Amino acid sequence: MSDALSSFPRLPLAHLPTPLELLANLTADNHGAEIWVKRDDCTGLGFGGNKTRKLEFLLGEAQASGADTVITVGGVQSNHARQTAAAAARIGMRCELVLPRVVPLAGDDYDENGNVLLDRLFGAHVFVVADEAAAVREIQARLTAAEERGSKAVVHPPGGSTATGALGYVNAALELCDQLAQAQNAPHFERIYVASSTGGTLAGLLCGFQLAGIDVSVAGVSVAGPAETLRKDVGRLVSDVQALLGLPPLPANRIMIVDGYLGAAYGIPSPAALDAVGRCARLEGLLLDPVYTGKAMAALLDWAADPGPGGGSGAGPVLFWHTGGAPALFAYRQEFSD
Ligand SMILES: *Cc1c(COP(=O)(O)O)cnc(C)c1O
Domain stops at, among 129, 160, 191: 160
On whether residue 55 sits in a domain, the answer given is: no
CA dihedral sign of residues 211, 212, 213, 216: negative
Same domain, yes or no: 183 and 202: yes
pLDDT value of residue 284: 98
Same domain, yes or no: 200 and 270: yes
pLDDT value of residue 67: 98
Question: Which CATH number goes with the domain that contains 120?
Answer: 3.40.50.1100
On whether residue 58 sits in a domain, the answer given is: no
- Closest of 23, 89, 52, 60 to residue 300, by C-alpha: 23
On whether residue 56 sits in a domain, the answer given is: no
Cα(202) to centroid(ligand 1), Å: 9
Q: Give ligand 1 pocket residues (Cβ under 6 A).
A: 49-50, 79-80, 159, 161, 195-202, 289, 292-293, 323-325
Radius of gyration of the chain (CA): 19
- Closest of 36, 18, 50 to residue 284, by C-alpha: 36
On whether residue 60 sits in a domain, the answer given is: no
- Closest of 323, 320, 7 to residue 187, by C-alpha: 320
Q: Name the domain count of the chain.
A: 2
Same domain, yes or no: 95 and 218: no
Q: Name the catalytic one among 7, 78, 161, 196.
A: 78
- Closest of 117, 119, 129, 126 to residue 333, by C-alpha: 117
Reading the chain (338 residues) residue by residue, the pLDDT tens digits are 568 999 999 999 999 999 999 999 999 999 999 999 999 999 999 999 999 999 999 999 999 999 999 999 999 999 999 999 999 999 999 999 999 999 999 999 999 999 999 999 999 999 999 999 999 999 999 999 999 999 999 999 999 999 999 999 999 999 999 999 999 888 999 999 999 999 999 999 999 999 999 999 999 999 999 999 999 999 999 999 999 999 999 887 899 999 999 999 999 999 999 999 999 999 999 999 999 999 999 999 999 999 877 655 558 899 999 999 999 999 999 999 86
Same domain, yes or no: 184 and 312: yes
* CA distance to 20, 204, 224, 267, 296, per residue, from 170 (Å): 17, 5, 22, 27, 20
Cα(328) to centroid(ligand 1), Å: 12
On whether residue 57 sits in a domain, the answer given is: no
Same domain, yes or no: 182 and 35: yes
List the residue whose alpha carbon is closest to atom 12 of ligand 1. 323
Q: Which atom, in ligand 1's list, is nearest to the CA of 158?
A: 8
- Closest of 261, 215, 252 to residue 234, by C-alpha: 252
Residue 282 has φ and ψ, to the nearest 5°, of -75, -35
Instruction: Look up the domain containing 77 and give its range.
Output: 65-160
Domain stops at, among 121, 144, 160: 160
On whether residue 172 sits in a domain, the answer given is: yes
Cα(185) to centroid(ligand 1), Å: 30
Same domain, yes or no: 166 and 293: yes
* CA distance to 82, 97, 156, 257, per residue, from 123 (Å): 10, 11, 18, 37
pLDDT value of residue 313: 52
Same domain, yes or no: 145 and 279: no
239 is known as an active-site residue: no
Same domain, yes or no: 256 and 182: yes
Q: Which atom, in ligand 1's list, is nearest to the CA of 83?
A: 15
Same domain, yes or no: 298 and 186: yes
On whether residue 21 sits in a domain, the answer given is: yes
pLDDT value of residue 312: 52
CB-based contacts of 314-317 (< 8 A; 24+ apart in sequence): 315/32, 315/33, 315/190, 316/32, 316/33, 316/34, 316/35, 316/189, 316/190, 316/191, 317/33, 317/34, 317/35, 317/36, 317/187, 317/188, 317/189, 317/190
* CA distance to 78, 82, 121, 261, 294, per residue, from 112 (Å): 12, 13, 11, 27, 22
Same domain, yes or no: 106 and 170: no
Contact between 202 and 240 under an 8 Å Cβ cutoff? The reply is no
Cα(41) to centroid(ligand 1), Å: 11
Contact between 40 and 172 under an 8 Å Cβ cutoff? The reply is yes
**Is the peptide bond prior to 317 cis by the omega test (within 30 degrees of 0)?**
yes
pLDDT value of residue 308: 79
| Mutation choice for ligand 1 from 51, 73, 171, 223, CB with most ligand atoms inside 8 A | 51
Same domain, yes or no: 152 and 197: no
CA quadruple 190, 296, 202, 325: dihedral, nearest 10: -130
The sheet carrying 125-129 orders its strands as 125-129, 94-100, 69-73, 153-156
List the residue whose alpha carbon is closest to atom 5 of ligand 1. 196
Residue 222 CA, distance from chain mean position:
12
Alpha-carbon distance of 307 to 309, in angstroms, equals 7
Domain stops at, among 160, 179, 206: 160
On whether residue 255 sits in a domain, the answer given is: yes
Same domain, yes or no: 308 and 216: yes
